[in-house]
Amino acid sequence: MNRRASIKKVLGSGVALSVAGATNSFGSQRLSPMSLKGNINHSVCKWCYGKIPLDTFAQDCRKIGIKSIELLGPEDWPTLKKYGLTCALASGAGMGIEKGFNDPKLHDELVASYEALFPKLQEAGYTQVICFSGNRKGMSDYDGMRNCAVGLRRLMPLAKKHNVTMVMELLNSKVNHKDYMCDHTAWGAGLCEMVGSENFKLLYDIYHMQIMEGDVIASINQYHQYISHYHTGGVPGRNEIDDSQELNYPAIMKAIKANGFKGYVAQEFIPKRDPISSLRQGVEICDI
């Protein structure tokens, strides 16, 4: 799933982390196995590492200790299973980020697409799938929320039957996704209340919400009951989550854990340095 087709390839320089092994032809490293603490379930978004074949990437993820590679569809799930990995958040059956459940004219097509996907998710043993609000296009926040709720409610009985949670992503409309509707945590929480089902939750993207509203830890503490998934990313720039950016990721991970979160945290930054070295570093930073 190409989630950021409009983002140009990020170029940068920097010193790669020292990792055991030789560099392969895709610029990643042959890693020594890494021992993690087990307090955070680690996942990663494949789209950030598009040049690395999934088969190679899966092997590197296993050595890092990552349990999931996400935002992938049914065609890629057999490769994950081959390496004992899961897909903590599957790619959606919708029409992309700009066209979503806030447009009633799209409901029939969206509902049919997700209905076809739910049995495949259950058969694969996956329990979460992404969805989007769509862009505002002049619509009020309340009308958009009501429209989303009407469409999503149609899917909740079948989602429950197949043990699937639909997860709407919170995205910033300031830098990356102009006019996107689900761009504040309070709006997403209000939609969860309106839908009224445990089979609908939020993807709290830390990068996006830092840009839109800040107060990341306070928001997690206030709205954690509506959140079933997290994404990372350095602010500004959406690059490595190290000390070159402004977010304190260990503190954020501690807040996530303190609220009893049992789901997955996925790395979703665009690496400027060696991608696998940066991914390993990101996991180490979040492994509180």
Tell me how many domains the chain contains. Answer: 2
The pLDDT score that the predictor gives to residue 33 is 76
Domain-embedded: residue 7: no
Domain-embedded: residue 210: no
The pLDDT score that the predictor gives to residue 54 is 98
Q: Are residues 52 and 123 in the same domain?
A: no
Q: Which of 182, 202, 222 is the last residue of a domain?
A: 202
Mapping DSSP onto H, E and C, the string for 23-84 reads ECCCCCECCCCCCCCCCCEEEEEHHHHCCCCHHHHHHHHHHHCCCEEECCCCCCHHHHHHCC
Domain-embedded: residue 184: yes
User: Would you give the distance in Å from CA 213 to the centre of its chain?
Assistant: 18
Residue 19 pLDDT exceeds 90: no
- The parent domain of residue 135 ranges over 94-202
Residue 138 pLDDT exceeds 60: yes
Domain-embedded: residue 43: yes
Q: Are residues 257 and 186 in the same domain?
A: no
Q: Are residues 80 and 115 in the same domain?
A: no
pTM for the predicted model, two decimal places: 0.89
CA distance 45 to 59: 15
Q: Are residues 248 and 280 in the same domain?
A: yes
Q: Are residues 82 and 114 in the same domain?
A: no
**Which position has the higher pLDDT, 7 or 231?**
231
Q: Are residues 178 and 139 in the same domain?
A: yes
Domain-embedded: residue 227: no
Q: Are residues 102 and 187 in the same domain?
A: yes
Q: Are residues 189 and 169 in the same domain?
A: yes
Q: Are residues 98 and 80 in the same domain?
A: no
Domain-embedded: residue 270: yes
Q: Which of 181, 202, 223 is the last residue of a domain?
A: 202
Q: Are residues 111 and 147 in the same domain?
A: yes
- The CA-atom distances, in angstroms, between 79 and each of 2, 26, 54, 181, 232 are 18, 18, 7, 34, 24
Residue 48 pLDDT exceeds 60: yes
**Which position has the higher pLDDT, 257 or 96?**
257
**Token pair for 221:** 């503490």
The pLDDT score that the predictor gives to residue 31 is 62
pLDDT tens string 170-213: 999 999 999 999 999 999 999 999 999 999 999 999 999 999 99
The pLDDT score that the predictor gives to residue 94 is 77
Residue 151 pLDDT exceeds 70: yes
The pLDDT score that the predictor gives to residue 17 is 33
**The CATH number of the domain where 187 resides is what?**
3.20.20.150
Q: Are residues 178 and 149 in the same domain?
A: yes
Residue 159 pLDDT exceeds 60: yes
pLDDT average, residue stretch 202-231:
98
Q: Are residues 79 and 118 in the same domain?
A: no
Domain-embedded: residue 169: yes
Sheet holding 68-70, edge to edge: 68-70, 41-45, 264-267, 227-231, 200-205, 165-169, 128-131
pLDDT average, residue stretch 35-41:
94
Of 11-20, 87-96, 111-120, the range with the highest mean pLDDT is 111-120
Domain-embedded: residue 3: no
Confidence of residue 223 (pLDDT cuts 50, 70, 90): very high
Q: Which of 202, 217, 251 is the last residue of a domain?
A: 202
Residue 15 pLDDT exceeds 70: no
Mean pLDDT computed over every residue of the chain: 91
